Chain A
Amino acid sequence: MRNQIFSTGYRPLPPAEARARGPWPAWPIARTALTLAWRRTGTKIALMLCAAVVFAVGVGLVAQVLAENAAQQLAEGQPLAAGMMRAVVGSVQDTFAIFLRTQFFFSAVALAVIGGGLIADDRHAGALELYFSRPLTRRDYALGKLLAALAVPLCTIVAPFVLLWLMTVGIAPPALRGPMLGLLAPGLGGALLASLTLAATVVGVSAHGERRRTVGVIFVVILLALSAVGEGVADAGFELAGYLSPTRDVQTVVDSLLGVGVGGLAAQLLELRSGSVNDSAWLSAGALTLMTLAGLGAVGARLRQEVAG
């Protein structure tokens, strides 16, 4: 058997010009990272958790649209009842804002499970040598990992947002459809900013760890600690500290983009909306951008340390 196998011999490849060129190296890196993540049970559980939130919000949106439809019919005969109904269920804009803020947290948990090992696993297994003995730059590698991390919030925040929006526009009565159409672009902007922040941060933390689980826990703890400190200090009177909290920043940006009011009574009773947001959406967006840049900087610093060129 051995001789038979060995008799294959070495066959040189045709020259590079004569064969099809492969994709940009970041793509196979991202694809392989996601394939490996998908093989783990934790990934499927985390994604199911996110899917459950999408389902719940979807049910809420359907109920809101139906209630709005009913309120419009009541408005002519019983304007007080219609007003009360609207006050209880809240607006669709509120629900989208709640979705983006809530899903930001659940996506962070999913990313901790899926993305914690993106670079940490490679460092732990000594695979960085394997990557960088190929014609691959540090930028290709970092972008590949960032792409893999970004795929998670794109699937858990951005894509569900678009689907929910399509569903809501599809079933909304004509009077509600007009304002709904304008929600897509700002909602997408907020969702993309939140996704990029999460992805860059998790990759940054992963670049400095060697154990997937430890990285995941540290990532979630950092987000929770920043949120708690930011909220707490801001509530104590030092309002600028609120910009430290990523969840508050996301809410500020999303509320501002979607033009959200105080929120419906149902949402407030369920404590789905935090009453406080930062003063400036621009500063909040800046804080999230800084967090993104810090994550990318952490990846770059670690890779420069590990690999010469």
Chain B
Amino acid sequence: MLLSLRGVCKRFGGFQALRDVTGEIEGRAVGLLGPNGAGKTTLMKICVGLLAADEGEVRVLGIDARREPGRVRARLGYAAEGPGRIPGLTGLESVAYAAELCGLTRRDAFLRAHEVLDLVGLDEARQREVEHYSTGMHQRVKLAMALVHDPELVLLDEPTSGLDPSSRDELLELLERLRDGDGPAFLLSTHLLHDVERTCDTCLIMDRGQLRFAGTLASLREGAPREFELRPLASARADDRRDRLGALRAGLERAGARVDVGRRPGTLVVALPPARIWEVSRALDIPIAHLEARALSLEEVFLRTIRGRDDDDAGAEMSKQAGHGA
């Protein structure tokens, strides 16, 4: 078990950053998704022991993060979102220093630092001071610092933010290699769905301090409401097509469906079982010429997951379900 969260709450003054977050998280590559301000960084900091939860229990790799933060940190790597650098040190010295702080001897620390910097692809630049690094190089050093002591779990807070497409691709490739090789498990916090889709097998979705979903990406897609794209049968006249589309939309909405305009002209996207769609069509006497199940992208599933549970009580319920489901 990577993480076990039970009723975790955290408040900063009047702002409730985490509300009753509960869940059991497993996997080798876990994505932590959520919009800005969802509570991802707060949750990570609580796991590392940088922040204390106001309520609830956090266990990382089976260890209580509040009672034994030292033991947790010895088995955990953390790459923070912020600058997090020691000005004046070179990349190599920074990584070796991080290793020494984790209990490696100076010699072993430098050997290991070279090895990990090779892995993250920081070549001769490792001898330059970190404040002269580009964002991409800086992210690599942070990743190397998180990996240098061979942790069992690495927490990566927005590692691809600020990277150009090529650097981002390289970093994601590295994460894929870690996932597929002997590397540690990682928890990747991001608001970029593509990053999670590419590198992770499990995903958590947070929104406004609550855990909305915890499970595999496949189960996230399966759990999303099915949508259908339909086109009513209409004459060639434009006003007739528009009237029929409007009438059908109104009828479907009265039946309780969420209806959006489709990407193709003259189509609607409806989240309603086909049988109910046919019922509405028959009742309105508007035949349907085309009906097709629509595959949702992860982005759409993500947005549906967040938008679909605005109500706090529903969110808390989901959080509990996620705890059992993951």
Given that A6-B177, A10-B178, A21-B103 are contacting pairs, would A130 and B50 also be in contact in the complex, using a CB cutoff of 8 Å?
no
B182 CB within 8 Å of chain A: yes
Partner of B105, one of A1, A21, A122: A21
Nearest chain B CB to A23's CB is how many angstroms away? 8
Residue of chain B at shortest CB distance from A126? B82
How far is A25 from B99 in the complex, measured between Cα atoms in Å? 10
How far is A136 from B103 in the complex, measured between Cα atoms in Å? 10
| Interface pair A135/B102, CB less than 8 Å apart | yes
Residue of chain A at shortest CB distance from B78? A133
| Interface pair B49/A22, CB less than 8 Å apart | no
| Interface pair A126/B84, CB less than 8 Å apart | yes
Nearest chain B CB to A118's CB is how many angstroms away? 12
| Chain B residues near A11 (CB-CB < 8 A) | 115, 182
B292 CB within 8 Å of chain A: no
Given that A2-B170, A122-B86, A309-B66 are contacting pairs, would A129 and B80 also be in contact in the complex, using a CB cutoff of 8 Å?
yes
| Chain A residues near B182 (CB-CB < 8 A) | 9-12
| Interface pair A130/B181, CB less than 8 Å apart | no
Given that A22-B105, A22-B109, A36-B88 are contacting pairs, would A134 and B80 also be in contact in the complex, using a CB cutoff of 8 Å?
no
| Chain B residues near A20 (CB-CB < 8 A) | 105, 108
CB neighbors of B among A51-83 (8 A): none
Given that A5-B118, A8-B118, A25-B101 are contacting pairs, would A127 and B108 also be in contact in the complex, using a CB cutoff of 8 Å?
no
Nearest chain A CB to B171's CB is how many angstroms away? 11
A238 CB within 8 Å of chain B: no
| Chain A residues near B145 (CB-CB < 8 A) | 130
Nearest chain A CB to B43's CB is how many angstroms away? 13
A239 CB within 8 Å of chain B: no
B112 CB within 8 Å of chain A: yes
Partner of A9, one of B108, B119, B150: B119
| Chain A residues near B86 (CB-CB < 8 A) | 32, 36, 121-122, 125, 127, 130
Nearest chain A CB to B147's CB is how many angstroms away? 8
How far is A74 from B119 in the complex, measured between Cα atoms in Å? 78
Nearest chain A CB to B139's CB is how many angstroms away? 14
Given that A25-B101, A32-B97, A133-B50 are contacting pairs, would A13 and B112 also be in contact in the complex, using a CB cutoff of 8 Å?
yes
B325 CB within 8 Å of chain A: no
| Interface pair B101/A134, CB less than 8 Å apart | yes
| Interface pair B73/A133, CB less than 8 Å apart | yes
Nearest chain A CB to B134's CB is how many angstroms away? 16
Given that A21-B105, A127-B86, A309-B52 are contacting pairs, would A8 and B115 also be in contact in the complex, using a CB cutoff of 8 Å?
yes
| Chain A residues near B115 (CB-CB < 8 A) | 8, 11
Per-position contact with A for B104-121: 1 when CB-CB < 8 Å, else 0?
Answer: 111011001001001101
| Interface pair A36/B177, CB less than 8 Å apart | no
How far is A309 from B80 in the complex, measured between Cα atoms in Å? 17
A269 CB within 8 Å of chain B: no
Partner of A133, one of B80, B85, B93: B80
| Chain A residues near B7 (CB-CB < 8 A) | none
| Interface pair B177/A134, CB less than 8 Å apart | no
A307 CB within 8 Å of chain B: yes
Residue of chain B at shortest CB distance from A127? B86
B18 CB within 8 Å of chain A: no
Highest count of chain B CB atoms <10 Å: which of A12, A16, A135, A307: A135
CB neighbors of A among B105-144 (8 A): 105-106, 108-109, 112, 115, 118-119, 121, 123
Nearest chain A CB to B107's CB is how many angstroms away? 8
A137 CB within 8 Å of chain B: yes
A131 CB within 8 Å of chain B: yes
| Interface pair B181/A10, CB less than 8 Å apart | yes
| Chain B residues near A21 (CB-CB < 8 A) | 103, 105
| Interface pair A309/B49, CB less than 8 Å apart | yes
Q: State the 5 A-B residue pairs at the shortest beta-carbon distance, nearest first.
A: A133-B78, A308-B52, A13-B150, A135-B74, A134-B101
A and B contact pairs by CB, cutoff 8 A, 17 listed = A5-B121, A9-B181, A19-B104, A22-B100, A36-B86, A121-B87, A127-B86, A130-B85, A130-B98, A130-B145, A131-B101, A133-B50, A135-B74, A135-B103, A307-B49, A308-B66, A309-B49
